[in-house]
Amino acid sequence: MTVEPGGATTTAPTEAPDGLIQLLTPEGERIDHPDYPIDLTADDIRAMYRDLVLVRRIDTEAISLQRQGELGIWASLLGQEAAQIGSGRALGPDDMAFPTYREHGVAWCRGIDPVKLLELYRGVSHGGWDPKDYKFHLYTIVIGAQTLHATGYAMGIQRDGAVGGNGASEAVIAYFGDGATSQGDVNEAFIWGSVFNAPIVYFCQNNQWAISEPLEKQSRIPLYQRARGFGFPGLRVDGNDVLACYAVTKKALQAAREGQGPTLIEALTYRMGAHTTTDDPTRYRLASELEVWKLKDPIERVRAYLVRTGQAGPEFLADVDAEAKKVGAELREACRTMPDPPPLAIFDHVYAEPTAILRTEREQFAAYLETFEGAGDGGERR
Amino acid sequence: MTMPTSLTLSKALNAGLRRAMENDPKVLIMGEDVGKLGGVFRVTDGLQKDFGEDRVIDTPLAESGIVGTAIGLALRGYRPVCEIQFDGFVYPAADQIISQLAKMRYRSRGNVSLPVTIRIPCGGGIGAVEHHSESPEAMFAHTAGLRVVACADPADAFTMIQQSISSDDPVIFFEPKRRYWDKGEVDVASDLADALPFDRAKIALEGTDVTLLCYGPMVRTCLESALAARGDGPGNGHSIEVVDARSLSPLDEDTICASVRRTGRCVIAHEAPVYGGLGAEIAARITERCFYELEAPVLRVGGFATPYPPSRLEDYYLPDLDRILDAVDRTFGY
């Protein structure tokens, strides 16, 4: 673990800085790091490649679905695939993840059907899955709020006596972005995690932009150096390097499970697309910046590595592309045929049991709906 | 077998918390100074000594952190009871309460329950500095997904805190801070199953001429007003029925409206500003349901449309016996 001395006042450089943990260069060359030996087989790396390609395809498909009016909005992960697949694959089955609204790649690693992700963005639900089934909490939209939930959950693991010892299999990972580091909740989460020594990894995807605001509007020092002030290790990893993200996250999770407390990981990456489909980055950033980051693409470097080392041939690559096409087509179809919830679902699950006021409002609204032609399917009033 | 004991409201809460912690090892207490100090009002006195630092947690000084981590603990299967030290300090936690705690069940379509109780000492009357005398209940009652309750006497404090903790819904639990030292009979051995459900109002004092609806710290003031009105001073000769709403969300409209139908008149008293206060919502509901039984419009008495004033002025700001009986008199003027 490295905590670098604070004091630097420069903004985060876009070139690989000193201290950046990297195991696979943008050109696809494997480099070793003494602290992060990796135990991945060729099959594992091919599986990572497959994940990277598939989640990018899901993302591309979702953007198209928004353009076609099938989704209200979409938050693209383009450019952040490696940070998400690397960290997501580092999670053990008992680890618990707390996402923002952009962790589609982590959701994929947790086994969540991408169709469920679309529910929120299509407007048919606020959250399409049971967190307990996937050890993946619901998407959280208020920036940084989930970092406190994650920290409390980690304190619960402690209170269950499940930290340290041979059977320790549980830690928590909290996802957030560079903009979130300005939020009070994130700073409070760091404090709680630190003073209670909670088994948690704070995983910051620094994609350099909080909608239109560049990192220098959030911080005068590199974000990973913030950890020092809170009293736990902070490190910076190449967020476009899936191997490094995997290795660093895995080690930090293990440290947390063993009782060594939190780690802040800053995954240095870049938001290649718009903040969401409603955003227009041409208003606030230069195309040349994008061109620089295109050369650091998280998928291309894995493909180059696999091909150069003979671990993947044209047949494998074509199979993955064909599978991506199929996943995309299935997602498109599932989205277009996704039904709206019935109108009276508005009243469900406000409390454990409906209150008198909810029962009354529901009955009155149901009776009102009945006065329309074709009543019952709720479709006639639209 | 009943064993009534005389306890202050603060001690009754302490006994209720203790009982909840004994009955369920998942119950935790967390907040600022709740451990060794026992809370600034001593409500959690002695609990850390008996249940340990893992269950009675002295937290860092940040309210959003308290509620946010309580949510995480609840996701893990715990039943946290958060203490917010004073009413005016709950606002830093507003996002976690309103946007997270209240909405998680709805967001998850019923998959996630968050049984978190948030205790808030509320109201004025103790000569405190700014931010220590507020009544923010309407804000929380306006937030779907929260239960909002207010205890007014030691017996209710003892049962309602336990009922709140055992509820699978998040509960905002208001404690009338100027009544912490009021004593009352509490049956600490009573079976919780026999207690009035915590979402029900109760008739605190029977009467026939006018319903005086209140909750929390105003209940004692209203009871004193009702007793005074039996003489020949202000409100002279009127038989006032005092209804303690107890639950502010959901509201026990049936009990409230049954009283108003009997008396034909209603005055609502709370410390919070009248404008946009809970009294407005309750008055509207009474009017809708009891229109033909009402002899007069529902009147409201409460704080002015100002911030809470410096404490040397709070006796003017807070509804007292005279202002309440003045409203009672006015309701007979129609």
**DSSP classification of residue A63:** H
**Among the four given CATH numbers 3.40.50.1000, 3.30.420.40, 3.40.50.920, 3.30.465.10, the one describing domain B202-331:** 3.40.50.920
Chain A: nearest CA to B234, how far in angstroms? 37
pLDDT band at A376 (very low <50, low <70, confident <90, very high): low
CATH 3.40.50.920-classified regions of chain B: 202-331
How many inter-chain contacts (A to B, CB under 8 Å) are there?
137
CATH 3.40.50.970-classified regions of chain B: 4-194
Judged by CB atoms closer than 8 Å, whether chains meet at B168 and A352 is answered as yes
Measure CB to CB from residue B96 to each of A145, A355, A358 and give the nearest one. A145
Query: Is it the case that residue A117 has pLDDT exceeding 70?
Result: yes
Alpha helices in A160-259 (DSSP H): 184-195, 226-230, 242-257
Reported ipTM: 0.96
Q: Does domain A20-336 have CATH number 3.40.50.970?
A: yes
Burial of B303 (0-12, 13-18, 19+ CB in 10 A): buried
Q: % helix / strand / coil in chain B, to the nearest 5?
A: 40, 20, 40
Q: Please, what sign has the CA dihedral across residues A337, A343, A347, A350?
A: positive
Judged by CB atoms closer than 8 Å, whether chains meet at B253 and A154 is answered as no
> What average pLDDT does this structure show over B126-145?
98
If we measure between CA atoms, which residue out of B295, B199, B203, B271 comes closest to residue B242?
B203
* Cα atoms in the Cβ-side hemisphere of radius 13 Å centred on B230: 10
- For B3-66, the DSSP string reads -EEEEEHHHHHHHHHHHHHHH-TTEEEEETT-SSS--TT-TTTTHHHHH-TTTEEE--S-HHHH
Test the A interface: residue of B61, B67, B69, B96 with most A CBs within 10 Å? B69
The CATH classification number of B4-194 equals: 3.40.50.970
pLDDT tens digits for A2-21?
Answer: 334 433 333 333 344 568 99
**DSSP classification of residue A340:** P
Tokens of A197: 């020594």
Measure CB to CB from residue A125 to each of B60, B109, B169 and give the nearest one. B109
**How far apart are the C-alpha atoms of B70 and A9, rounded to whole Å?**
36
In total, chain B counts a number of residues equal to 334
Q: Please, what sign has the CA dihedral across residues B103, B105, B108, B113?
A: positive
C-alpha distance across the termini of chain A, in Å: 57
Sheet order of strands, B202-205 included = B202-205, B240-244, B210-214, B266-273, B299-303
Q: Which residues make Cβ contacts (< 8 Å) with residue B85, sequence separation at least 6?
A: B31, B32, B33, B39, B40, B121
What pLDDT, on a 0 to 100 scale, did the predictor assign at position B153? 98
Judged by CB atoms closer than 8 Å, whether chains meet at A142 and B106 is answered as no
**How far apart are the C-alpha atoms of B189 and A176, rounded to whole Å?**
48
Q: What are phi and psi of B250, to 5 degrees?
A: -70, 165
Neighbour-count burial for A62-80, b at 16+ CB within 10 Å, e otherwise: bbbbbeeebbeebbbbbbb
By the 8 A CB rule, do A242 and A85 touch? yes
- DSSP three-state, residue B178: helix
| Cβ-Cβ contacts under 8 Å, A349 against chain B | 105-106, 108-110
The domain spans of chain A are 20-336, 342-382
Alpha helices in chain A (DSSP H): 42-67, 81-90, 104-109, 114-122, 131-134, 145-159, 184-195, 226-230, 242-257, 287-294, 300-308, 314-336, 356-370
In chain B, pLDDT over 90 holds for what percent of residues? Answer: 96
Measure CB to CB from residue A349 to each of B68, B92, B109 and give the nearest one. B109
| Cβ-Cβ contacts under 8 Å, B258 against chain A | none
| Distances, alpha carbon A139 to alpha carbons A63, A79, A104, A116, B108, in Å | 18, 19, 10, 11, 10
- DSSP three-state, residue A175: strand
What pLDDT, on a 0 to 100 scale, did the predictor assign at position B234? 61
pLDDT tens digits for A36-73?
Answer: 999 899 999 999 999 999 999 999 999 999 999 999 99
Chain A: nearest CA to B205, how far in angstroms? 25
**How far apart are the C-alpha atoms of B330 and B334, rounded to whole Å?**
7
Judged by CB atoms closer than 8 Å, whether chains meet at A126 and B106 is answered as yes
Chain B: nearest CA to A345, how far in angstroms? 9
Residue that wins the pLDDT comparison between A12 and B227: B227
Provide the mean pLDDT of chain A.
Answer: 93
Test the A interface: residue of B30, B56, B61, B76 with most A CBs within 10 Å? B76
| Cβ-Cβ contacts under 8 Å, B254 against chain A | 356
pLDDT tens digits for B70-110?
Answer: 999 999 999 999 999 999 999 999 999 999 999 999 999 99
Give pTM, 2 decimals.
0.95
Which residues lie across from A328 on neighbouring strands?
A: none
Measure CB to CB from residue B72 to each of A132, A150, A350 and give the nearest one. A150
Judged by CB atoms closer than 8 Å, whether chains meet at A191 and B65 is answered as yes
pLDDT tens digits for A292-327?
Answer: 999 999 999 999 999 999 999 999 999 999 999 999
- Looking up tokens 């420069």, which residue turns up? A10
Measure CB to CB from residue B69 to each of A127, A155, A348 and give the nearest one. A155
Chain B: nearest CA to A145, how far in angstroms? 7
pLDDT tens digits for A239-283?
Answer: 999 999 999 999 999 999 999 999 999 999 999 999 999 999 999
If we measure between CA atoms, which residue out of B133, B103, B137 comes closest to residue B118?
B137
pLDDT tens digits for B14-55?
Answer: 999 999 999 999 999 999 999 999 999 999 999 999 999 999
Judged by CB atoms closer than 8 Å, whether chains meet at A142 and B95 is answered as yes
Chain B: nearest CA to A305, how far in angstroms? 41
